[in-house]
Amino acid sequence: MIKIKSAYELERMRVSCGMAATVRDAVAKAIKPGVTTMELDEYAQELIAGMDAKSAFYGYRGFPGHICVSTNDEVVHGIPGKRLIQMGDILSVDFGVVYDGFVGDTATTVMVGVSDPEVIRLVTVTEQALQAAIDQAVAGRRLSDISHAVESVAVGAGFTVVRDFVGHGIGRSMHEEPQIPNFGAPGRGPKLKAGMTFALEPMVNLGSEEVEVMSDGWTVLTKDRKVSAHFEHTVAVGQEKAEILTIARK
Ligand code: MG
């Protein structure tokens, strides 16, 4: 069953999602050559503590980081560590916060002095695929209209979408029903209703769609070791249009 959030619950999700967005944006700004991904994690930890919030990732099935940082051929679930950020890297920063019983989940991909036009195009298209997904999060559409929109944009641009990991419902838990694949035919699945809240998160690969999990048990990387990009927003389905909840608020 897909939960419909009340006005009160949505108001509380705006708060937790706003915090997630604030941390996402601050960590994204701190990305530069010479910084380690562990330093990004420590910075996030500090910001979260200052908000009296908690990372939804830290300790989740034993995950050791407060954020996920996935570099270049890593798709998602990268563990922060000693790796130094270098010119030409792309990094996806994924962060989930829990505040007052509600979760916000968001990710962005940052390019560090990238000059390869195909990589720049990949990152641009992945963000466009997320926007296309958000545009379908409207009452009356079917769930797979979201999936199809992502696939159309990504595959239409000559890239592939990861099939092993998907978007998800979100609210009091990080993962609620439904699962939201980034591929598939339109017009299928449950009818969307205002007040459903989803974490939409296209993962788009430059090469093959195939991925594998590293020996650390977490890091997902592309089998062909080509780069991958990832963007994510938590959104509320609306009557006329979706509301992006993971927007930094003052
Ligand atoms: Mg997510």
pLDDT digits (tens, 9 = 90+) for 236-246: 999 999 999 99
Residue 217: is its pLDDT beyond 80?
yes
Q: What is the mean pLDDT of residues 91-114?
A: 98
> Ligand 1: distance of its center to the CA of 25 in Å?
16
> Ligand 1: distance of its center to the CA of 20 in Å?
12
Query: What's the confidence (pLDDT) of residue 150?
Result: 98
Q: Are the C-beta atoms of 122 and 227 separated by less than 8 Å?
A: yes
In the chain, the domains with their CATH numbers are: 7-244 (3.90.230.10)
> Ligand 1: distance of its center to the CA of 16 in Å?
14
Output the pTM of the full model: 0.97
Query: What's the confidence (pLDDT) of residue 93?
Result: 98
Query: What's the confidence (pLDDT) of residue 249?
Result: 84
Query: What's the confidence (pLDDT) of residue 246?
Result: 98
CA distances from 173 to 89, 95, 212 (A): 32, 14, 26
Round to whole Å and give the CA distance between 212 and 226: 12
Residue 2 confidence class, pLDDT cut points 50, 70, 90: very high
Q: What is the mean pLDDT of residues 84-110?
A: 98
pLDDT tens digit sequence for 76-87: 999 999 999 999
Residue 152: is its pLDDT beyond 80?
yes
Residue 196 confidence class, pLDDT cut points 50, 70, 90: very high
Strands 203-205 and 197-200, by their bridges, are unpaired
Residue 155 confidence class, pLDDT cut points 50, 70, 90: very high
Q: Strands across the sheet with 228-230, in order?
A: 160-161, 203-205, 228-230
Dihedral sign for Cα atoms in the order 181, 81, 234, 196: positive
Residue 250: is its pLDDT beyond 90?
no
Query: What's the confidence (pLDDT) of residue 245?
Result: 98
Residue 128: is its pLDDT beyond 90?
yes
Q: Are the C-beta atoms of 143 and 187 separated by less than 8 Å?
A: no
Round to whole Å and give the CA distance between 20 and 238: 21
> Ligand 1: distance of its center to the CA of 104 in Å?
9
pLDDT tens digit sequence for 4-19: 999 999 999 999 999 9
Query: What's the confidence (pLDDT) of residue 238?
Result: 98
> Ligand 1: distance of its center to the CA of 106 in Å?
7
> Ligand 1: distance of its center to the CA of 230 in Å?
10
Question: Cα Rg for the chain, rounded, in angstroms?
Answer: 17
Residue 182: is its pLDDT beyond 80?
yes
> Ligand 1: distance of its center to the CA of 250 in Å?
24
